[in-house]
Structure 1
Amino acid sequence: MYGKYAIVLKSPMGPKKGFLYLDQQSSTVEGILECLGKRHLFSGTLSQDGKLLAQGILKAPLGEEPFMLLGNIQEKILTARLQRKNQEYELMGTEVDENRLK
Structure 2
Amino acid sequence: MAGLLPAVASREFGVETPGTILGSIVADADRGEFRDLGAEQAAMAAQSLVVAFENAGLLDEAATERLRARSDALFATVENDEKYTMGRFVEALKALRAAAP
Q: Shorter-chain TM-score category?
A: under 0.3
Structure with the larger strand share? 1
Structure with the larger helix share? 2
Rg larger in 1 or in 2? 2
